[in-house]
Structures are given as C-alpha cells and as structure tokens.
Structure 1
Amino acid sequence: MRTVGVEEELLLVDPDSGEPKAVSAAVLARAAQDDPGQDVFQKELFGQMLEFATHPQGDMAELGAEIVRCRKEAARLAGEIGCAVAALATCPLPVPLSLSAHERYAWMAEQFGIAIQDQFVCGCHVHVSVESDEEGVAVLDRIGPWLPVLRALSANSPFWQGQDTGYVSFRSRLWARCPSAGPTELFGSAERYHRRVTDMVASGVILDKGMVYLDARLSTKYPTVEIRVADVCLRAETTVLIATLARALVETAARDWRAGRPPFDHSVSLLRLAAWHAARFGLDQDLLDPATMRPRPAAQVLRSLLEHTGEAVALSGDAAVVEETVAELLRRGNGAREQRLLLERTGSLRDVITECVRRTQD
C-alpha cells in the first residue's frame, strides 16, 4: 500500500478579533521547548502562518487521526501565547504582512516584488509514495486533468482583503501568479522531467528546485509525487478525503502506465482553463470533464473521478468512507460555501474567522 503524508498551512489569529498575528516564531519556540527534536511544525513565508507535516501513513484512519492531533497541538501551542489557529486558505481581513526571517524569503521578496504579498495563502500538499522517478513522472503525466476536481473539493478561500472575490478558491488564483506555478505539458520520461526542472532553475527566475511550484511534481526531499493544488481544508475529514483520492489517482495512474494505457494529451491552455473554472465555481456549477475538457455538472465529474479511482480506493479499504464523505461534502458544501453561509448569518468577516477557528479543530 502506498504511503501518504500531508502538509497543512494554518493561519495564526487572535481568538477574539480574528486578526492574524505574526507570532509563528514564538509558537515554534514553544514547540521546541516541549520537544527539542520536533520536526512536525515549521515556519512559513509569513509570520502569521504555521505549517505542520504528518508522518507517512498507509492507513487513512491513522492519517486522519494524526491530522487532528497536529491541528489540536498547533492550537495548544498557539493558545499558550494568546493565539489561535484557523484552517483558512486566505485571510478574509486586510492585514499588514510580516515576512519571516530567512535568506530564502528575503530573496523571494527582492525577486518578486509586491507580488510576494499574494503568497499569504495556506495550502494543503499531499505526498504519495512512488517506486521510482520513472513511475513518478508517468503518474504526473496522467493525473493532471483530474487535479481541478481536487481543487473544487478542497476550495476554502472565497474572501480576500475584506471582500468576496467571487471565487471559491481565490488562493489558487493568487498562487498562479508565481512564474513556475500551474499545470504542465506531458513529460514522457524522468530524464525529460529533470531536464525541464534544471532548465527552469538555470533561467535564474527561481532560486532552486524547491521553487518549481507545479500543480504536481516529484518531491525534492522524499520518494513521492507531491500534489499541491488543494486549499487547506476547513475540516480535517475533507483533508483525509483529498489525501485518499490523491493516493488513488497515483495508484490508478501507475497501473495505467504499466498496462501501456496512454495519458490524455490536453494542452496546457486547456488545463489552465480547467484549473480556473474549478477555482471560480467549485462544486456549485459545472467542472470541465477531464476526458473531454467540456463542461459537465460538478456532481457528474466527481462521480467520474470516483469511478476512475474506484478499484484503487476499494483495494485500500476506503470505499465506504469516501462515498460517505463525498455525500456529506455535496450536502454541506466545501469550506468556501461554509464561509459564505457564516457571513450571511453573522454579517461579520471577523465572526467568520472565529467560528472557523472552532471548526478547524472539530
């Protein structure tokens, strides 16, 4: 069974006002005080953000339990300095940003100018183990058209700078302004993939391989495919669903590769349109069908994804949980819909944030 690891980025906020607080250094100091060798919590680009990473897990129930533990531990550490954590992919309120102290971040601020502010966003990255770079690139070539569906499921960023953006995943639109972000053409082999990455770094536009911010890539640290399209999810069970479907996509793609079944050969232009459409409407209207790149009702495209990955999901024993979680997500809506309903009910973006603090840990 392929192992899965998850990285989640959280906002650090005042528990009463919802205002983001640049206290990540203090939170990390608390974590190091409790466990000097801890490797779960890490700093992020801005001081108002905190990242955690799970260990690789083969069992999705264990992965879910670890995500919940990490969220609760992040909340405890933040609470000790009068702060709270919220799983929001963008901050609904305007906020002055505080860049974390790091040579890499200083380079990015100098290179990208004011656009660095667009990166005050929180994502969810899923790592799925692969046997080799060759298998990993074969997977990358086959999962791209399905990634907008994961984006639609995870969408959790409707508000930005005090206003409704009209998008369900505005985080992904901000992130798309990075010069190395987004979907890619087919690579065909590991050699071509690595040559492309080398050429991108040699351009001087990005600093190193870690800044190759593709929607999905070979990890620079682990023997995994890293899928980077999801917003951080408001609820932990949605994160587990994204991770489960990501593993199933990787397993299905690897099987198709071994069986000699070719990938869809869609242009990057069409893949970008599918990504935009998912970020704009999510589950509320159509998605672009991964096979045809034509609009279909979101529920039908989601059903196609479940059918496409059905054998892999059944093999891992997760079919019942996936069906139940998808049904609940379609009924309740993703994080973006929940946030908009909260604003409709309370009339206050600050109240939206403080309620999302609670839901982050539920």
Structure 2
Amino acid sequence: MRTVGVEEELLLVDVRTGELVPAAEVVLRDADERITSEFLAQMIETRTRPHADADDLRADLLGLRSEVAVRAAELGAVPAALSTSPLPFRPVVMPVERYGRIVQEYGVLARQHLTCACHVHVEVADEDEGAAVLDGLRDWLPVLLALSAGSPFAAGEETGFASYRWQLMARWPTSGPPPPVGSAEGYRRVVDALLETGVILDPGMLYLDARLSAHQPTVEVRVADVCPDVRVTVLLAVLVRAMVETAAEEGAGAAAAGAATDTALLRAATWQASRAGLTGRLVDPTTGRLAPAAAVVRGLVDHVRPALARAGDLELVEREVGRLLDAGGEASRQRDVLRRTGRLADVVADVARRTVEGT
C-alpha cells in the first residue's frame, strides 16, 4: 500500500485575544525535527511520518499538534489551524536569508502574505509515475479544496469566499492548477523554464496546487486549506492516496484525459470551489458544468471507490464525507460562530480549541 504523509501549517495565536503571536522561535527551541519554521514568526509547520494506516496518521497529527501546543504555552499562545487570520495582523518575517530575498523581490505581496495550507504527500515509484499521476488527478483537485475550505475571514473582513487562502495564493506567479506535463521530462521542462525566466527564485516557489516533491519520491497535493478537525485532514489524505492509486492504475488513459482539460478551465473550477466550498455549486469534472457540491463530492468518492476499498478506507471516507456535507464544511462553522457571538476572536478561539482536541 502506498504511504501517505501530511504537512500542516498552523498559526500561533494568543489564547485570550486571538491575535497572532510571533512565538515560532520559542516553539522551535530543541523541538522535534518534524516541527519547523515557516515564512512568518507567527506560523509553524509540522510534518508527519509516512503512514500506511489512517489511524496511525491521525495519531501522528495529534501528537505533533499537542507538542506545538505545549511549547507555545510558554508565551500564552496556542496553535490554530486557520488558513488566514480572521483578525488584523502585522506580519513578522522569520530571520531567514531566503525569506528576506522574497520580501525584497516581491514587495507588498510578500510583506502582507499569510496563508496556511495542508499538503498531502503520497508515495510514487518514480518521477515518471508521478508525472502521469499529476495529469490523471488534476481535474479533481478543486473538489479537495471545497472539502477543506475554511478561510472565509481575512484581516477583519468577511471575504465572501469559503477559501480565501486560495485567492491569496493565486496572486503568486506559479500558483494554481498544475499544467499537463505528459512525462517526467515534460515536468522538468516546465520547472526549468520557470526558473530560467527569473520570475521565481528557486524550485521552492513552485506554488502549484499539486507538484512532484523535490526532496522525496512523492506527489505533493497542496490545494487544501489546513483543517482544525483532524478527521478532515485524514479524510483528505486517504482521498489523495486513492486518487494517486487510481490515476496510476489507469495509466496513460487517465493521464491523457486529465491533460485534455484546459488549465484555464481548471483554474475557473478551482476559483469556484474557493468561493462556494460545500454550500454552493462546483464544476463537475465529468461534465464541465456546475452541479450541487454534494453531487460532485460523491462523484469523486465513486471515482476512487475501488482504491478506497482495497486500502480499507471506504467506510471512513463515506462517514466523514457524509458528516462534512451535513454540516456544510469548515467555512460554514466559522460563519455560524460569528453569527452567534459577533466576535472574530471567538472564531479564532473555537478553531484553536478544535485544533488541539482534533475535532
């Protein structure tokens, strides 16, 4: 069975006010190597080990979150799986030479940047299989965004989007849906051509919704918001694994079908998922037309059903998808909290509590 691992980007927030706390250096002091810094001092990243079993992945995620919480408590902070900051903030960039270059080169885009995502890594045999898988799964990436969408507020405003994080990421020159690549050689040509333009500084700035990892033999799906409820994170992880397995099994046929979708159309579908989340309509990859979100999500489950069944993940996926669709997703939850309390700080507190508890 293919292994799967997850990287989570988390905000560090004040337990009383919900405001961001630049506590990364304290959290990182003598920390596990799987807890690392990010662009801002108000952020932290965790990286699970690769796992074959969904329960083991869940335990690893919760363990890392718990360790961050213990370390952040020294400064009265707590980790929160928020993809944007609901409250206004002043970014504090980590003192890393590369980050300084990014701020210098990209100006206000970098100075105001704050987003947190969930990155899912799934094992592939080699770059050739990885490239074929990228082409084969690209049509379904917007559905993953809709399932995870949980950033309706940013810097004190209701944005009108279920995932405003994706809109912020879309401003960067190499963000959005991956182009069709055809092969490992085709993928390398795309990356090399982007680097040769000088528009991006290094391969780490390839901010595509899915890409091949530069450091390990995995496909890295980066389209999702970070999720407070660890059950949703595990759902995303096993769905991505099933998508990779399905695309690899279907081989050239799946790759050709995925590559046939124009990147502009796929970008429009992802934009729509960012706006609608689970409460509106999504572009159905099988028809190219808008359809109720629930129908499109269930279409993804049907698409990868054999792979889910073989991995023993089908029951988990059907249960968690049903629960998510009934609740309307994370963006709906955050909007409900604001309606009840009238305070964005309460939205942050609710997310922070669920991040540590895992529900």
TM-score > 0.5 by shorter chain: yes
**Percent identical:** 47
Provide the secondary structure at the position in 2 that maps to 1:262: helix
> What is the aligned partner in structure 2 of residue 291 from structure 1?
286
Q: How far has the Cα of 1:333 moved from its partner?
A: 2.5
Answer yes or no: is the 8 Å Cα contact 2:210–2:222 preserved in 1: yes
Q: How far has the Cα of 1:260 moved from its partner?
A: 7.2
Q: How far has the Cα of 1:22 moved from its partner?
A: 0.8
Tell me which of 160, 163, 166 is aligned to 1:172.
Answer: 166
Give the 3 Å change call, closer, same or farther, for CA 242–346 of structure 1 in structure 2.
Answer: same
Q: How far has the Cα of 1:261 moved from its partner?
A: 6.9
Query: Does residue 201 of the first structure (1) align with residue 195 of the second (2)?
Result: yes
What per-residue deviation string (whole Å, max 9, x for no partner) do you get for residues 100-150 of structure 1? 111110111011110114530100000000001000000000111100000
Query: Does residue 24 of the first structure (1) align with residue 18 of the second (2)?
Result: no
Q: Matched residues in 2 for 1:138 and 1:247: separation?
A: 14
Give the 3 Å change call, closer, same or farther, for CA 172–259 of structure 1 in structure 2.
Answer: closer
> What is the aligned partner in structure 2 of residue 41 from structure 1?
35
Could you tell me which runs of 5 or more consecutive residues in structure 2 were left unpaired when the two chains were aligned.
Answer: none
Q: How far has the Cα of 1:81 moved from its partner?
A: 2.5
What per-residue deviation string (whole Å, max 9, x for no partner) do you get for residues 36-86 of structure 1? xx2111000001001000000011110011111111111111112321111
Q: How far has the Cα of 1:335 moved from its partner?
A: 1.5
**Aligned residue runs from structure 1 range 1-362, under 5 A:** 1-29=1-29, 32=30, 38-257=32-251, 262-264=256-258, 265-362=260-357
Q: How far has the Cα of 1:259 moved from its partner?
A: 6.4
Answer yes or no: is the 8 Å Cα contact 2:136–2:254 preserved in 1: no
Q: Match for 1:20: what amino acid?
A: L
**RMSD (CA atoms):** 1.2
Q: Matched residues in 1 for 2:75 and 2:21: separation?
A: 11
Provide TM-score, normalisation by structure 1: 0.96
Give the 3 Å change call, closer, same or farther, for CA 118–3 of structure 1 in structure 2.
Answer: farther
Answer yes or no: is the 8 Å Cα contact 1:91–1:159 preserved in 2: yes
Provide the secondary structure at the position in 2 that maps to 1:51: strand
Q: Matched residues in 2 for 1:182 and 1:126: separation?
A: 16
Q: Match for 2:279: what amino acid?
A: D
Q: Matched residues in 1 for 2:206 and 2:113: separation?
A: 15
How many pairs align? 356
What per-residue deviation string (whole Å, max 9, x for no partner) do you get for residues 76-98 of structure 1? 11112321111111000111110
Answer yes or no: is the 8 Å Cα contact 1:89–1:171 preserved in 2: yes
Could you tell me which runs of 5 or more consecutive residues in structure 1 were left unpaired when the two chains were aligned.
Answer: none
Q: Match for 1:342: what amino acid?
A: V
Q: How far has the Cα of 1:258 moved from its partner?
A: 5.8
Provide the secondary structure at the position in 2 that maps to 1:184: coil
Answer yes or no: is the 8 Å Cα contact 1:169–1:280 preserved in 2: yes
Give the 3 Å change call, closer, same or farther, for CA 233–261 of structure 1 in structure 2.
Answer: closer
